[in-house]
Amino acid sequence: MILTGPQIESAVEQSDIVIRPFRKRQIAPNSYDFRLGNRCCVYTSKVLDAAKENSTRTFTIPKGGMVLRPDRIYLINTEETMGSTRYVPIIRGRSSVGRLGIFIDVTADLIDLGSINQWTLQLHAVHPVRVYPGMLIGQVTFWQTHGRRVLYAGKYRSYLSPVPSLAFRDYEK
């Protein structure tokens, strides 16, 4: 079952959900709107290899924004630190952002239980579009769990967002 906006606020107050910084005005009827951070990571190779560590370049997005181009993926942190050991977060792009042709985490919208940090957003634009640090970019919903909770202990847990793909570690023996 999905939490309503008032339930999200109550869970934040009770420390069952972490959202820092938390802004009441970002509560929606059944989600919380989150903001784009200011750190961006892009791959430097034209062809990526899932079995190898791919080279990247990380930079700070200027206050005046940056243009997302259709020929690449942009890994950008969330401004907020978010997560929960009790509720499972699922993230989506806001409809206003989707109407600009920006896809957010199309194949990776489920955040693991216990993953509490700034998340790495995977942004892709259909056509060039300018984005800004601090803009409302997505929404997170929180879902109740059933059964014994097992917290995230995966390969992305010790990094500062944004983090490039670590899929190559799946090939290590």
Question: Can you list the pairs that 19-25 forms with residues at least 24 positions away whose Cβ atoms lie under 8 Å?
Answer: 19/80, 19/81, 19/82, 20/80, 20/81, 20/82, 21/79, 21/80, 22/80
66-102 pLDDT, tens digit per residue, is 999 999 999 999 999 999 999 999 999 999 999 999 9
- Assign residue 75 the CATH number of its domain: 2.70.40.10
Determine the pLDDT at residue 56.
98
Residue pointed to by tokens 């079995």: 51
Determine the pLDDT at residue 136.
98
pTM of the model: 0.94
Determine the pLDDT at residue 157.
85
Determine the pLDDT at residue 173.
58
- Which residues of the chain are modeled with pLDDT < 50? none
Nearest partner of 76 among 129, 106, 40, 119, judged by Cα:
40
If one counts the domains in the chain, the total is: 1
Structural domain span for residue 166: 5-147+156-171
